[in-house]
Amino acid sequence: MKAYVFPGQGAQYVGMGKELYEGYEEAKSLFEKANDILGFRITDLMFEGTDEDLKQTKVTQPSIFLHSVIMAKVLDGRFEPDMVAGHSLGEFSALVAARALDFEDGLKLVYARALAMQEACEIERSTMAAVLGMDDEVVVDILNNINEIVVPANFNTVGQLVISGSMKGVEVAMKKLTEAGARRVVPLNVGGAFHSPLMEPARIKLQEAIKNTQFHHPVVPIYQNVTAEPTMEPDEIKDNLNKQLTAPVRWTQSVQNMLRDEASEFIEVGPGKVLQGLIKKIDRKIPTRSAM
């Protein structure tokens, strides 16, 4: 059974999507439609911009979404998933690819999400860090005993968990985790504390946008970040999306559950190969590849 997976923030690169735009009329049409919807030429930033341009959350998120969704569209008959999942932002790409969301509605939600997250980051300085070489349960236990805002944000793969919170909270956590035996604790160059309580202002704004968007039954199950379990119910999908910004991304558990449900191959749709690397660390025997 084929599991199609969609990357999140961090997979962007200058030039992303240009080959799709130049090689497929359908892709060109969708990119131009996106320019109209957003009110600026995001394609100029994707194809010819700078790394700094693409690091802006309001640019990064719609760029990765467009690259992933348009790639799935041009695959057409070759896009035959039995299940789908997306990492954080990638969940929106997965929902559009699985026809739970229309292209236009998906893009509008992603842009609303990006703007809301960027605004939330400006309210209070916050950050994230990657913890390497320590069991998830040990990391979570240490975080639970810190009297500052710091939480598990991304369960990325075996031995890699990203933490998120206030500057003070992450600083204290990094020290305690290092002392407790983590192989490495690496601060991340991010705009704020994604998937933490500090994203609550963004969650409230996005909740209203989700409420006013029509969702359909997807054509295949989607394994959502909040639960790591499959669903095809629109109301459940919306509820999980409402929780996503302040809840951890359970990617390790999602991949393990797809394997439990007989996924035999993972195909990454979008820029980069980040998810393939994470999946290989969960199960080295499982075949992984890029969609194009």
Among this protein's residues, is 254 annotated catalytic? no
* CA atoms lying within 13 Å on the CB side of residue 190: 26
Catalytic residue among 88, 93, 126, 164: 88
Q: Is 189 exposed, middle or buried (0-12, 13-18, 19+ CB in 10 A)?
A: exposed
Among this protein's residues, is 63 annotated catalytic? no
Looking at the DSSP bridge assignments, the partners of residue 152 are 163
Residue 128, helix vs strand vs coil: strand
Looking at the DSSP bridge assignments, the partners of residue 130 are 162, 186
**DSSP tag of 245:** T
d(CA 254, CA 87): 10
Region of residue 150 (left: phi > 0; alpha: psi -120 to 50; beta: else): beta
Looking at the DSSP bridge assignments, the partners of residue 162 are 130, 154
Q: Is 144 exposed, middle or buried (0-12, 13-18, 19+ CB in 10 A)?
A: exposed
Catalytic residue among 68, 195, 196, 254: 195
Closest CA to 12 of 106, 78, 90, 76: 90
d(CA 64, CA 258): 23
Both structure tokens of 264: 């035999």
- With beta carbons less than 8 A apart as the criterion, state whether 266 and 287 touch: yes
Quick one: which H or E segment has residue 217?
none
Residue 234, helix vs strand vs coil: helix
Q: Tell me which residues are annotated as active site.
A: 88, 195
